[in-house]
Amino acid sequence: MAIKQWEAPNIGALAETKAKQYLLDQGLRFVEANYKSKSGEIDLIFKQAQLWLFVEVKYRSDNSHGSAAEFFTPNKRRKVVNAIMCYFMEKQRNIHHEHIRVDLIAIDNNTLQWIKNV
């Protein structure tokens, strides 16, 4: 008989669920989660009227190696922007005719911070 290994819950997925619910509570309209392209990934996509919000979620259980917000690096931002371009191409929308913003939800232990326009 095989022994099943205990699997820890996917902390990233739990953090994204918490972030998604928080943004829904703020009145945003959910569009999509975990969009993947060759150039990067977008954790959450929302709309607020005509504004597209592309949200990166970062979680840290403690700050011994830095806060969640510090882990959103310029390189990660570049990957998100490239993924946004792929997203609009795939949806056959012209990125130059869209209103977009990249936001960060930084969760440090149980403290959630919404940082707009990163």
Give the domain CATH number at 17.
3.40.1350.10
What pTM value is reported for the model? 0.87
Q: Which two tokens stand for residue 66?
A: 């830095």
Q: Are 33 and 20 in contact (CB under 8 A)?
A: yes
Q: Summarize pLDDT for 55-113 with one digit per residue, the tens.
A: 999 998 877 778 999 999 999 999 999 999 999 999 999 989 999 999 999 999 889 99
**H/E element, 97:** none
5 in any annotated domain? no
pLDDT at 65: 77
4 in any annotated domain? no
3 in any annotated domain? no
pLDDT at 9: 58
83 in any annotated domain? yes
2 in any annotated domain? no
Q: How many domains does the chain have?
A: 1
59 in any annotated domain? yes
Domain encompassing residue 94: 11-115
108 in any annotated domain? yes
Candidates 28, 27, 72; CA nearest to 52 is 28
105 in any annotated domain? yes
Q: Are 44 and 37 in contact (CB under 8 A)?
A: no
Q: Which two tokens stand for residue 108?
A: 């440090």
Q: Are 47 and 35 in contact (CB under 8 A)?
A: no
Q: How far apart are CA 64 and CA 112, in angstroms?
A: 17
